[in-house]
Amino acid sequence: MNWTGILSDGVRAGLGINAAIYALAAVGLNVQFGYAGLWNFGQAGFLLVGGYGTAIAVSSWGLWLPWAVLVGIAASILLGLLLGVPTLRLRGDYLAIVTIAAAEILRIVVNSTKVQSVTGGPQGIGGFANWFFDHNPIARGRYGFGTITYDQRQLWVTLVTWVLVALASVLVALLVHSPWGRVVRAIREDEDAVRSLGKNVYSYKMQALLLGGAIGGVAGIMLVFDQQFIQPDLFQSAITFYAFAALILGGTARILGPILGAIAFWFLVEGADSFLGNAVDHNFLGVGHLVDPTQIGTFRFVLVGLVIMLLVIFRPQGFLGSRQEVMLGEQ
């Protein structure tokens, strides 16, 4: 068993681009779910709209990439409006169902042959982020420590994404510690009480949904930048559930919760993958007889499912959260 290899696989993933993208998506979810108590099960849809908005703005309209990014963010805000207007007046579980349905509709529609000329259908669109990589200031080479290295391309996109995570977190921190944040958190605790104080609950909820959705849109943009490629399969509903798992792991309604959660989540998932791969190769504890090597990728979903269940049941506040501030606890 190559234990250092397993550990460095985990650390590489925990600091890598996926952790950064999921941290960003989870920061968005934290605004919606952690602070405002909104059940957005369609974060994958916000990522999709952000990514496709940017890609289409470049490939179909020929926009300069920075403008295209703004188009992507605007598109995810628009999606938030479309979803929020009908559902934010309803009970929370309706929002959950509608958002997950909307994310699936979007994925099916961009995949459809009807819109293939714009979205590329199942083949997707590629090569739209050249501007981003042309402006990479990092010299060619490999950077890192020990066995954990990244090339200049990975390092550039990863660093930018982590900086965006930091910016989004600062923004969220400033907001939740302002009067706006107190109202939003009060809505999560008791909507009627806030309404009786004369606040427009609907409008506050909408603002939280849009802010979280826009941050999700940025996460989607960085996801497709990293791939230099966009296709519908990148936006399976699994993204939403991964982001939820990361958020709860770190602790909801905490500024550092989604960041720590995403790092720990990817460390766990990739470390477990690597462990299982190693265990099969070396027939560790007889695992080689039990697990078909081609199915190792499947076990990560089993693991994620188990982590979500155990966390919510036994430690709904995650690493950092406080039991009083977590919606998942007693009611």
Partner 1 sequence: MPKAGRVVVVFGLASISALLSGGRAHAVTTTTTTSTASAASIGGMLTVDNHPVPGVRVTASRGAAEVGHAVSDRRGAWRIGVPGPGTYKVALDVSTLPSGVRAERPELAEYRVFGSFAQSAGFTLSAGQSKAPGGQSRLDVFLNLFVSGIRFGLIVGLCAVGLSLIYGTTGLVNFAHGELVTFGALIAWLVNTMSSGPKLPLVLAAIIGMIATGLLGATLELGLWRPMVRRRSGASGRMLVSIGLALFLRYIYEVIFKGAPRSFRQYAAPSPVKLGPLQSPVRDYVIMAICLATLLVVGTMLRRTRLGTAIRAVSDERDLSSASGINVEGVTLLVWISGGMLAALGGVMLGMGSQGVQWNMGFRLLLTIFAAVVLGGLGNPYGAMAGGLVVGVASQVGTYWLPSDLQFAIALVILILVLLARPQGILGVRERIG
Of 70 and 86, the one with the shorter C-beta distance to partner 1 is: 86
**Separation of alpha carbons 63 and 129, rounded Å:** 11
Of 171 and 325, the one with the shorter C-beta distance to partner 1 is: 325
Residues 6+ apart with CB under 8 A from 78: 49
**Separation of alpha carbons 191 and 298, rounded Å:** 41
- Rg from Cα positions in the chain: 20
Instruction: For residue 125, give the 3-state DSSP assignment.
Output: strand
Contact between 49 and partner 1 (CB under 8 A)? Answer: no
CA atoms within 13 A on the CB side of 156: 17
Least CB distance to partner 1 at residue 125 (A): 9
Contact between 127 and partner 1 (CB under 8 A)? Answer: yes
Contact between 91 and partner 1 (CB under 8 A)? Answer: yes
Considering only residues 148 through 167, tell me which ones interact with partner 1, judged by CB under 8 A: 151, 153-154, 158
Contact between 138 and partner 1 (CB under 8 A)? Answer: no
Of 179 and 330, the one with the shorter C-beta distance to partner 1 is: 330
One residue of 60, 178, 283, 298 binding partner 1 per CB under 8 A: 298
Of 94 and 175, the one with the shorter C-beta distance to partner 1 is: 94
Cα–Cα distance list, 40 to 63, 95, 154, 249 (Å):
31, 7, 30, 17
Of 173 and 301, the one with the shorter C-beta distance to partner 1 is: 301
**Separation of alpha carbons 262 and 265, rounded Å:** 5
Instruction: Give the end-to-end CA distance of the chain in Å, rounded to a whole number.
Output: 46
Contact between 304 and partner 1 (CB under 8 A)? Answer: yes
One symbol per residue from 216 to 235: x for binding partner 1 (CB under 8 A), - otherwise; what is it?
-------x--xxxx-x-xxx
> Which of 186, 328, 176 has its CA nearest to residue 248?
328
Interacting span for partner 1 (CB under 8 A) from 49-57, 93-101, 137-145, 164-172: 93-101
Of 64 and 133, the one with the shorter C-beta distance to partner 1 is: 133
Residues 6+ apart with CB under 8 A from 314: none
**Separation of alpha carbons 329 and 26, rounded Å:** 19
One residue of 63, 186, 287, 327 binding partner 1 per CB under 8 A: 327
Least CB distance to partner 1 at residue 198 (A): 20
Least CB distance to partner 1 at residue 179 (A): 25
One residue of 203, 302, 322, 323 binding partner 1 per CB under 8 A: 302
